[in-house]
Chains A and B, each alone.
Chain A
Amino acid sequence: MATATLTTKPLTMADMKGKADPDWCPGCGDFGVLAALQKALVELQIPTHNIVTISGIGCSSNLPGYISTYGMHTLHGRALAVATGVKQANHELTVIVTGGDGDGFGIGGNHFMHTMRRNVDLLYIVMDNQIYGLTTGQTSPTSRVGMKTKSMPFGNIEAPINPITLALAAGATFVARGFSGEQKHLTELIKNGIEHKGFSFIDVFSPCVTYNHDNTYQWFRPRVKKLEDDTSFDASDWTAAMERSTLWGEEIPIGKFFERTDVPALHAAEPVLNDGPLVHRDLRLPTDVTRGFIEELM
């Protein structure tokens, strides 16, 4: 993604504030994700009018209203499909998709897989709280086995998906995990993800303080271990990333699992876009081209 520098006065955190204030529950992990995203954008100094923040539906998907970029608050599960269209129509825009685990891995699971294999140049941040919040507490695709929710009051009997393993298997070119309680670390991951030329995925532990009493800040804090602190780990090694992705329990890795830069992003692989963004093109085609279309029919 292009990182343009603003020629006028530098952007500050105050410039990043959206038209509305967050309506999340006090203590929600999503506040930390919003702050880290705003901080990352301030540090990158990308003009806000060249950024589109796109979400689906859910608590975390309200985020575009709380940031001063262009925003789209789309349908449940469809943010990645919409974002793919936005990026292909104007690949000079910086596209950021935000949402929750139900939105992205449940109803939107199909688009998640295909957006990764297409290597669409965007940053996808999932605020993963392992529960459905806005619908008042049902099991999500990342809820642990045994978790009691309103939809599975006797305990979840279905195995959760592992978003990191899934992303690696689907061909994502940037895969990371953050924790809402680790602000600085998350800000760096977001910056790295925006600058990555291709699909960047960051699964963020963003605790739901109202409905998930299993995976709380207190539960995560002693468990999360930064991959950056492990000198033996190499994030360009896909097999090593796969192996680390399966670690869960007393020790849960956060940080950048994997990045490769040798795969062109979708818009870069499409010769039609060589002449610049579609949105700037003349709607009329040259007469010799259209005459050729008719001659084929004669």
Chain B
Amino acid sequence: MTQTFAIGIGGAAGQGVATPGDIFAKIFSRRGLHLNAYNAYQSIIRGGHTFLTIRTGPEKVTNMGDRIDLLIPLNQDTMDRHFGLLSVGAACIYNSDTIKPGSTTDGVQLCPLPVSKLADISRNKVAQNTLAVGAGLNMMGIGFQALETMLTEQFKKKGDAVVAENVAIARAGYDYASQNFKPFDPPLPMTDNPYAVLSGNMALAMGGVAAGVKFYCAYPMSPSTGVLHWMASHARKAGVMVRQVEDEIGVVNMAIGAAHAGVRAMCATSGGGFALMSEGLGMSAMMETPIVVIDCQRAGPSTGVPTKTEQGDLWQMLGAAFGDYPRVIGAPLDIGDCFTMIPEIFNVADRFQCPGIVLCDLLLSEGRLSVDPRDLNFNPPIDRGELITSNGGSGSNGANGNYKRYQITESGVSQRAVPGVPGHAHTAATDEHDEDGVLISDEFTNPIKRRAMMEKRMRKQSGIEAAVPPPHLIGPRDADVTLIGWGSTYGVIGEACAMLSEQGISANQLQIRWLVPLHGDAILDILKAARHTIIVENNYSGQFARYLRSETSYVPDGHIRKYDGEPFMPHHIVESVKEQLAGKSKLSVPAHEIMV
């Protein structure tokens, strides 16, 4: 296992947890350290308890990990909640004027900061935060210059005096630590390869821009709102029209309108908003107008727990809108993949003129990850399929009377002319229609034509299946246990596999990225050769397990599930696997030890 270092910063919302978090993240990523950050918070603007975990290391850090090396409690509540989690080698930096430490555990270093002696707290309300950041960086063996640069960037708009004041406070914390606290061993390394740090929501938005999205609309809903915020603040530079709409019904219909006129259009929401969009998805399918809808899952049902994560919307996606229609559903594996998947799914949606759904979740949407900037490819392949546009599309199909928008073809795909192209006027209808768009729903129903149109649309499914790759096994082919996951659990399952191997249990991983189409045969081939299979997912009923069984009849040996709102930590999976291999259980529901 590679070495990582994790910092936990906690306090009430409004106490300034985010700023030290951002400073640490920037300093790490600029030094060529990878990082993963997860913020546990509540639906409250001031108060409550916010707990940010930043885990860093020289190699890719895929999840929050199991251990906190440095705890920075900004209030007594945070100390009381989390001090007990610390183990040998860890340290806790706290304001000794206002916070009483927990009872000391062997090997845990207490680092009290006499804040009122080190800074003028009447002038600077967040002095304790800045002092702690300075002290922490000293203990990690990072030179002061990195922090001075960050503080200068952060406060330069407020003038030189504010910069100087904050640098002086940070310096006081830094120097106090060097005289009074024991440094961590070994110090954090440094490489010459700085990383970009971004949230999943930023990645989804930028992925959209890379895909050529020109119209984005949304109604604010946690945890998807970050996509709207990035799009809105970058709209003018990116040439994207961004609209905040009255509700998600309006959102999906507006996006379909823009897509129908010929642009790539995207929208994001969470489960509740998606529920309002479902009739619109059926329209996208029936009119054969491609759009991409992102669902950032949160803990449901109903309003549920808006600030907590879950993988509970799978069946809503599978069953969204009535009737049968072709669709493509992808679940990004990590924050970098949130970027990569958007251009890919737009190409599939455009080629097959159907809705594309991206199934993300709060863990990725609001988490932060270091990504190699070269992996943010703003020049991905773009395939708009059989599109006839006013600015020189591929079609040369004849004038009015000859052009059939819904021409029956072997692939099920027909040439799509957008309004404004002479000679191709037609009506796109949500009613069942004939090849030329004329309704066969009201006055002239016709079972033969209806069947032909259903089969035309549904034939697109085999093309979609060929367009998205099947999943593959990660790790040794012959392993004691095969862990199956989908979407955002990719990183934590991977780390659990590595931990199991270190403990003498060989493990491999099958992670599903494309949920529809599923490639059931390829999955069966892999699972039939496995010795012991366990499905890991962040929901109550085993939504993926039920889906896999419905598509393939496959039943795994066991399940690991979590539905408390918090993500899996690697040890949750490791301990559950051991319990199941020992024959003690077929369903493990690990308890979340961190009270957030």
Contact = CB atoms under 8 A, between A and B. Distances in A.
Interface in B409-434: 418-431
B306 to A, nearest CB: 23
Contacts of B206: 293
A118 to B, nearest CB: 8
A247 interface: no
Contacts of B261: 52, 85-86, 89-90, 93, 279
Interface string A285-298: 10101101110011
Contacts of A281: 214, 239, 263
A73 B427 contact: yes
Given A62-B442, A110-B247, A294-B373, A82 B256 contact: yes
Interface residues of A, number: 61
A120 to B, nearest CB: 10
A241 interface: no
A75 B254 CA distance: 12
Contacts of A297: 196-198, 202, 371, 373
A73 B422 contact: no
A284 B382 CA distance: 9
B389 A279 contact: yes
A272 interface: yes
A75 B280 contact: yes
A54 B254 CA distance: 12
Contact of B420 (A54, A270, A279): A279
B330 interface: no
Interface stretch (B177-185, B229-237, B296-304): B229-237
B425 A68 contact: yes
Interface string A16-53: 00111001000000000000000000000001111111
Interface string B60-89: 000000000000000000000000000000
Nearest to B343: A283
A49 B426 CA distance: 9
Contacts of B262: 89-90, 279
Contacts of B280: 75, 78
Contact of A83 (B194, B215, B257): B257
A75 B255 contact: no
A88 B258 contact: yes
A114 B250 contact: yes
A81 B195 CA distance: 41
Contact of A285 (B196, B239, B391): B239
A193 B592 CA distance: 62
Contact of A75 (B214, B428, B430): B430
B419 A84 contact: no
B365 to A, nearest CB: 16
Contact of B264 (A73, A280, A283, A292): A283
B238 A88 contact: no
A271 interface: yes
Contacts of A48: 425
A71 B257 contact: no
B392 to A, nearest CB: 10
A121 B80 CA distance: 59
Nearest to B198: A297
A271 B439 CA distance: 39
A273 interface: yes
Contacts of B254: 81-82, 84-85, 88
B216 to A, nearest CB: 11
Contacts of B418: 90, 279
A49 B420 CA distance: 5
Contacts of A280: 390-391
A190 to B, nearest CB: 19
Contact of B378 (A51, A64, A285): A285
A93 B419 contact: yes
A92 B247 CA distance: 26
Given A72-B427, A78-B249, A19 B215 contact: no
Contacts of B423: 49
B397 to A, nearest CB: 14
Contacts of B247: 110
A51 B420 CA distance: 7
Contacts of B258: 85-86, 88-89, 278
Residue among A89, A110, A270 with max Cβ neighbours from chain B (10 Å): A89
A72 B249 CA distance: 17
B29 A72 contact: no
Interface in B185-228: 194-198, 202, 206, 209-212, 214-215, 217
Interface in B240-260: 240-243, 245-247, 249-250, 253-260
Nearest to A297: B196
A65 B382 contact: no
B257 A81 contact: yes
Contact of A88 (B241, B250, B389, B427): B241
Contacts of A92: 420
Given A85-B255, A289-B238, A293-B209, A110 B250 contact: yes
B287 interface: yes
Given A49-B425, A64-B427, A86 B419 contact: yes
A72 B239 contact: no
28 contacts: A47-B422, A49-B420, A49-B421, A51-B419, A54-B257, A73-B430, A74-B283, A74-B287, A75-B430, A78-B253, A82-B257, A86-B260, A86-B261, A86-B419, A88-B243, A110-B250, A113-B246, A278-B241, A279-B391, A283-B214, A284-B378, A285-B209, A293-B234, A293-B237, A293-B238, A293-B378, A298-B29, A298-B373
Interface of A: 18-20, 23, 47-54, 57, 62, 64-65, 68-75, 78, 81-90, 92-93, 110-111, 113-114, 270-273, 275, 278-281, 283-285, 287, 289-290, 292-294, 297-298
Per CB-CB distance, the 6 closest pairs between chain A and chain B, nearest first, are: A85-B257, A283-B212, A71-B427, A81-B253, A89-B261, A290-B378
Given A85-B255, A89-B259, A278-B258, 18 more contacts: A19-B438, A49-B423, A50-B420, A57-B430, A65-B429, A70-B425, A71-B425, A71-B427, A74-B287, A82-B253, A84-B243, A85-B254, A93-B261, A110-B250, A281-B263, A284-B212, A292-B237, A293-B209
Interface of B: 29-30, 194-198, 202, 206, 209-212, 214-215, 217, 234-243, 245-247, 249-250, 253-265, 279-280, 283, 287, 371, 373, 376, 378-379, 382, 389-391, 400, 418-431, 436-439, 442-443
